[in-house]
Homo-oligomer: A and B are copies of this chain.
Amino acid sequence: MRDRLAMRDRQSHSLSLRSFTRRTPRRDPMLQLRSPPPATSSPSSAVSFPALPPRLLPLRRRGVGTPLGGKTSTAVRASSAAPGATEPEVMVEVAHREVARALASLAEARLGARLLPSAVPPDVAEFRSGGGAGNAVGSLDVRRGAPGSTIDFMLQSSLHCKIPNGAIDITSLLIFLNASTDAPHFLMEFIQGSPTSIVVLLDLLPRKDLALHPEYMERYYENTQVDKQREKVEELPQARPYRSRSLFVRSAFSLTAILMSIDCGQGGEGTLKEIVRGQLATAARALLQIWLDSCADHTTEMEEGERENMIKRDQIVRSKSIEVDLTSNLPRMFGPDVADRVIAEIQKAFGVQEA
C-alpha cells in the first residue's frame, strides 16, 4: 500500500514539484529535506497539512498556556538520547511555537471538558529519528472530543529536523469537528525552513463545496469577515502567496485561506520574529477566535444524504492529506519505524486507516 501511494505521489506531483522548484526554490523549506534517511524514493512531497505538536517543548500543564506573544524561550532537551550517539538534537524554541502553544491553550480553555484527556502512547507523544545522533525530534498530541460534543479531535504536533545548513521546524494545530455539524475545521501550520523565512497555512477548512453552497460561504466566510485576516498578512512586503505543489491539498483549503511564504532575507532573523509574534500571531488568533465563536459550538441539521456527502468529502480530504504529506515526509525524517507509529496515530485521529 505504501508503495502504491508513493507511486501515485510520484506521478501526480511531479509537475507541481518541478515547477515550484523552478519558481521559488528557496521558498519551500521541505525541499531542503534531502539528506535524512531516504526511506522512500518519492520526491519530497507537499508541505501542508498536519505535521506535528509541542510536547517535547516546555511541557505545558493542561489548560495553563503561554499568553500569545509571551516569551517562553526555554529549549528543552529531548528525553531519550540514542546510546553511543553524538549530542542528540533537541526541540529548539522558535517564535512560532510560542504562538502555537498560546493558541492551543486558548482553544483548550474555551473547549474545556469537550476535549478528552490526551491519548497517545508515550513513544508517539515524543519521538526521535532512529539510529545515529537522532537528527530529528518530534511530538504529537491528540485529544478526542467528548461524546455528545461537536469536536472530533484536537491535534498538536511539533517537529524539528536538523539539515545540513540548519533545521526545519514545523508546528501544527488542527481542531476538527465531527459529523454533527458541517461547520469548518480549524487548521494552522507553520513551516520554518530557516531563521529568516517561514510558510504559514491558516484556514477554516470548508466541509462543503463552496460554489454549490453560497449560503455556507456567506455564513462562515463572508459574514465572519475572515478574508480580512488574509489581506492583512498579504500586505506584508515580505509575504508571497504559497501554493502547495499538490492540487489535492490546494483543493482542501477555502477561498480565504492564508497560504503565505514570508521571507525576510539575509539578516532578517529579528524581523521574522517580530512578524511571527505580531501579524501572524494576530491573524492566527483572530481566525481561531472566529472559529471558536462561529464554528465550534454549532450543530447542523442535515438530510442524511447531505451528511453522507460531507463525511465522504471529509474522508477524502483527510486521507489525501496524510497520503500526500505524511507518508512521504515522515519516513524521510524519522525512518520507517518511527514514522509508521506516528502516522498510525494520526490516521486513528483522522478516522482513516491505511488499506
CB proximity to B under 8 Å, residues A213-233: 214, 217-218, 221-222, 225, 227-228, 231
Interface string of A1-44 (1 = CB under 8 A from B): 00000000000100110010011000000000000000000000
A312 in the interface (beta carbon within 8 A):
yes
The size of the chain A interface, using a CB distance under 8 A, is: 35
Chain B residue with the shortest CB-CB distance to A232: B19
Tell me, rounded to whole Å, the shortest Cβ–Cβ distance linking A294 to chain B.
15
Q: How far is the CA of A196 from the CA of B16 in the complex (A)?
A: 31
Which residues on the B side are within 8 Å of A256 (C-beta)?
247
Interface string of A224-247 (1 = CB under 8 A from B): 010110010011000001000001
Residue in contact with A231 in the complex, picked from B23, B222, B227, CB distance below 8 Å: B23
CB of A222 within 8 A of CB of B312, answer no
Chain B residue with the shortest CB-CB distance to A213: B316
Q: How far is the CA of A259 from the CA of B102 in the complex (A)?
A: 36
CB of B211 within 8 A of CB of A212, answer no
Which residues on the B side are within 8 Å of A344 (C-beta)?
none
Q: How far is the CA of A99 from the CA of B204 in the complex (A)?
A: 39
Tell me, rounded to whole Å, the shortest Cβ–Cβ distance linking A144 to chain B.
24
CB of A19 within 8 A of CB of B228, answer yes
A162 in the interface (beta carbon within 8 A):
no
Which residues on the B side are within 8 Å of A211 (C-beta)?
209, 251-252, 313, 316-317
CB of B212 within 8 A of CB of A316, answer yes
CB of A19 within 8 A of CB of B227, answer yes
Which residues on the B side are within 8 Å of A241 (C-beta)?
241
- Beyond A16-B227, A222-B15, A227-B16, whether A212 also contacts B313 by CB under 8 A is yes
CB proximity to B under 8 Å, residues A103-139: none
CB of A217 within 8 A of CB of B247, answer yes
Which residues on the B side are within 8 Å of A235 (C-beta)?
23
A250 in the interface (beta carbon within 8 A):
yes
- Beyond A212-B313, A316-B211, whether A247 also contacts B228 by CB under 8 A is no
Q: A12-B222, A214-B316, A217-B251 are in contact. List 9 more A-B contacts (CB 8 A).
A: A15-B225, A16-B227, A23-B231, A209-B212, A210-B251, A212-B313, A217-B248, A247-B255, A250-B255
